[in-house]
A and B are shown apart, each in its own frame.
Chain A
Amino acid sequence: MYGLRRHKSMFLLPGLLTLLLIIIFPLLFTIRVSFSGWNVSSPQMDFIAGANYATMLHDSRFWSSIMRLILLAGGTVLIQYVIGFGMALLVWRDVRGRRFWRVLFLVPMMTTPVVMAAIWQMIFHESLGPLNDLLGMLGLTKVAWLTESGPALVALMTVEVWQWTPFMFLLLLAGLLSLPKEPFMAAAIDGADVWRTFWKVTFPLMAPVSVAAVIIRLIEASKLSDSVYVLTSGGPGSSTETPGYYLYIQGLRDQQTGYSGAMSLTYLVLMIVTLTVVAALLTRALKLKGHS
């Protein structure tokens, strides 16, 4: 019996080795790198204790990029959730051309983020873009979408919402399709109207799926950097830099390997803690709502 169990556990070995190779080793290596002054001009990995972490504490660009990301991710995921839920509800029921709408809604998500950002870059172009043309036709002032701090953030949020609302739609639609029919039949017998049925039946039943969808999107949004790279390159100044983009600049372009290692680890820990707390709070809040 013991031999069989040992024999079975051998099947875990390839998985464990792979995990060790592609996750554990790089993680340990990054921890070591973060305590070094390793950069392109000083390729030796000198131990410099916590100097990188001390620098990071005073690096206003890093901390502003995190605050900015909280705003971007929080704002866009909330908008994506509301619109995605609405779209899912729309095609959940038997509407005409349901299949067509489902495919159409998914198109933005299927496009590569860089391509999507490049298309939006043309749309937002200050002098040649159709968006400003439209504003002009309406008699409104043209907006410097990508070269002024505020509009550039709005532009980034628009692209995020456009690209990832379909993902939210997909998850929420799957959740809606798996709901039991009985509670809705009971609500109908009780004479509940559409709005009441939504708040008292649909929304609470969808709570677990909603939490999962929001958390998955928050995790994804925390890595936002590709559309920043294409749309604004973090500018004007550093007003649209996200941690992902700043890490790219420091680690890959400026090749401050040690310093970017320290920032990566800090960011990883911050994200794990934040998302765990958000997940716990959301679960609690939605459960409470379900019981009210």
Chain B
Amino acid sequence: MRNNSYKGMIAAAAVVALTATGCTGQDKAESKPDKPALFKQGSEISYRKYGEDYPATKVKDVPGSCSYESISRKDYSGQTLKIISHAVPVIGEPTKLHARQFEEITGAKVEVVNVPFGELHQKILTPLQANQPAYDVMFYPSLWIGDMAPYLAPVPQEYLDTPGMKDVTKAYMDVATWNGQVVQYPVDGDRHYLKVRTDVLKDPKQQAAYKAATGKDLRTPKTWAEYQEVAKFFSGKDVDGDGKPNFGSAEVTKRDDLTFSAFISRAAPYVKNPDVKGGVFFDLDTMKPLINTPGFVRALDDMVKAKSTWAPGGANFGLGDEIFSFGGGQTLMSYSWDDAFIQAQQPDSRIRNKIEAAALPGSTEVYNRTTKAWDKKPNQAPYFTWGWTSAVSKASGHQKMAFDYLCFFSNEANTALDLTIGRFGVNPYRNAHFDAAFWEKQGWDKDVAKSYVQTLSGMEKSTNRVFDLRVPGVNQYMSALANGVAAALAGQKTPQQALDEAAREWAKITEQIGKDTVHDAYRNVVALEDYR
């Protein structure tokens, strides 16, 4: 029973909100004839003129319709582009920087609103639901596609045909696609992988000590059990001689700060059985949540045990803490997005070129939800965890300018520079980014660069992968999951109790949203995971 009068109320509320944010309505952009280019083909591009914070790195503008040369021919003077993005610096800083450049070379006025993560979903979705063109361009985590897709303008063919877009990896084109249409503009590629300090794990002295204590060889962990063993052995010892204790593992554990992603990383090898198709989060036939099945419970058990290996405060680590704990050399291992790795590789880092990237730890057995038994076999399951994306609102009156901005944002020159600035949160998403030589040019050692590109490209090749949930209401599902994880980590509930409660929450959310709606969306995720 739906009451249309309330739609009016929602719209009225949105109009009030939009008035407050200075919405100017949806005047249609007028196309103007191209002007002479401000850049020559192949010009050298650097961000240095925008401040000392930017590296002096120079790259060549790559010819094409998204290049500095081509975009600078456009004349958008007198028009305003409205953009919403995450807070500075992660994705918010490159949004602002490229907005400034876009203004300079096209004459457009670009207004960027930066919003903290916790408010971004609501600030984007509310005007979209009210069909208000509050923003022309939106940057957001790609796993929200289930909520956003109905309101997004499909990426026009001319942009899909650009060389930069054609080079986007298959996984990230899939992430941008919804029901067969590309509705998100790829600007980033994120995955969880393992990072370790090689100056410790490959140090013969440490290897001998580890062998003596455990009877095992010290190596980059291949399973979560090994990860725990190594982390526990080194925790609390000053292994790098800086007078301060080191710790084994840095993980994102703060409930409202992406803990769900950390937990999925730990669960992936226990729940993604290559012999069982049909999704890891729900039973696709019944839409019954699977997050309290034995694989997930074991992963949460592992995570609770890992508490003893965390640095002080590790039980409330947000992503920033994890980045600086590993990147700063306090912790010897961590797993999450690229940021901690890139942080460790910054020129002023004391552990620069003393690290290694590797696939997420796996398991020696994997739960089979069909037979309801553990299959004894080594298993690994890379986790493609969301990543930032961008899109243009269907309600925007400036779609051409909006897509030109995104095309410019992600052109080859800009992306090459953005990849090297850790705080930007822009990570490899094109095949060209898996070239070790590019990273060696940034001062990375050959082995570090090789481990990095091999780990990332290896994930692309895997056929046993886990993706994010990507269904309408994904934030509610992930919030309920994070609540369960947090309750277990805090000792308020056992892992089984905590996940049982989370599963009950999930069932309720599915009822609220509509079983069919969630089912239809989840099929898209399962198709990615089953590699169809």
Contact = CB atoms under 8 A, between A and B. Distances in A.
Contacts of B487: 237-238
Contacts of B479: 249, 253-254
Nearest to A124: B313
A114 interface: no
A45 B490 contact: no
B315 interface: yes
Given A146-B316, A149-B490, A236-B316, A44 B118 contact: no
A44 B486 contact: no
A101 interface: no
A26 B96 CA distance: 36
A47 B1 contact: yes
A248 to B, nearest CB: 9
Contacts of A144: 312-313, 315
A117 to B, nearest CB: 14
Nearest to B478: A254
> Could you say which of A29, A41, A142 has the most chain B C-beta atoms within 10 Å of its C-beta?
A41
A234 B121 CA distance: 20
Interface in B221-259: 254-257
A235 to B, nearest CB: 5
A46 interface: yes
A148 B315 CA distance: 8
Interface string A255-267: 1100000000000
A249 B256 contact: yes
A165 interface: no
Contacts of A55: 508
A42 interface: yes
A239 B492 contact: yes
Given A127-B313, A144-B312, A234-B255, A253 B7 contact: no
B483 A39 contact: no
B249 to A, nearest CB: 15
Contact of A39 (B6, B476, B486, B491): B476
B492 A41 contact: no
Interface in B81-135: 118-119, 121-122, 125, 129
Nearest to B245: A127
B495 interface: no
Contacts of B119: 252-253
Contacts of A37: 512
A147 interface: yes
Contacts of B532: none
Contacts of B207: none
B360 to A, nearest CB: 25
A8 to B, nearest CB: 33
A236 B487 CA distance: 8
A34 B329 CA distance: 50
Interface in A108-128: 125-127
A39 B512 CA distance: 9
B6 A44 contact: yes
Nearest to A252: B122
A43 interface: yes
B223 to A, nearest CB: 27
Contacts of A76: none
B492 A237 contact: yes
Contacts of B257: 233
B10 interface: yes
B10 A43 contact: yes
B71 interface: no
B454 interface: no
A233 B10 contact: no
A36 B10 CA distance: 14
Nearest to B122: A255
A256 B476 contact: yes
Contact of B312 (A41, A142, A239): A142
A40 interface: yes
B121 A147 contact: no
Interface in B287-330: 311-316
Contacts of A253: 118-119, 121-122, 256, 475, 479
Contacts of A36: 6
Interface in A212-253: 232-239, 249, 252-253
> Could you say which of B10, B255, B257, B311 has the most chain A C-beta atoms within 10 Å of its C-beta?
B255
B276 interface: no
Contacts of B312: 126-127, 142, 144
Contacts of B316: 146-147, 232-233, 235-236
> Could you say which of B316, B476, B483, B513 has the most chain A C-beta atoms within 10 Å of its C-beta?
B316
A147 B313 CA distance: 6
Given A237-B490, A239-B492, A253-B475, A43 B129 contact: yes
A55 B512 CA distance: 13
A238 B473 CA distance: 22
A40 B125 CA distance: 8
A258 to B, nearest CB: 9
Contacts of A127: 311-313
Interface in B492-527: 492, 508, 512-514, 517
B372 interface: no
Interface string A125-166: 111000000000000001010111100000000000000000
B255 to A, nearest CB: 5
A41 B512 contact: yes
Interface string A17-29: 0000000000001
A253 B478 CA distance: 12
Contact of B490 (A39, A42, A233, A235): A235
B313 A236 contact: no
A235 B125 CA distance: 27
A233 B313 CA distance: 13
B315 A41 contact: no
B2 interface: yes
B179 interface: no
A253 B254 CA distance: 15
B490 A236 contact: yes
B310 to A, nearest CB: 9
Contacts of A42: 512-514
A250 to B, nearest CB: 9
Nearest to B130: A43
Nearest to A258: B512
A42 B6 CA distance: 12
A56 to B, nearest CB: 13
A254 B254 contact: no
A234 B487 CA distance: 11
Nearest to A234: B255
A238 B147 contact: no
11 contacts: A39-B473, A40-B121, A41-B473, A44-B6, A46-B2, A146-B313, A147-B315, A233-B257, A235-B486, A252-B119, A255-B476
Given A237-B255, A253-B256, 5 more contacts: A39-B512, A41-B473, A41-B512, A147-B313, A252-B122
**What are the 9 A-B residue pairs with the smallest beta carbon separation, nearest first?**
A237-B490, A126-B312, A236-B490, A41-B473, A45-B6, A147-B315, A127-B312, A126-B313, A237-B492
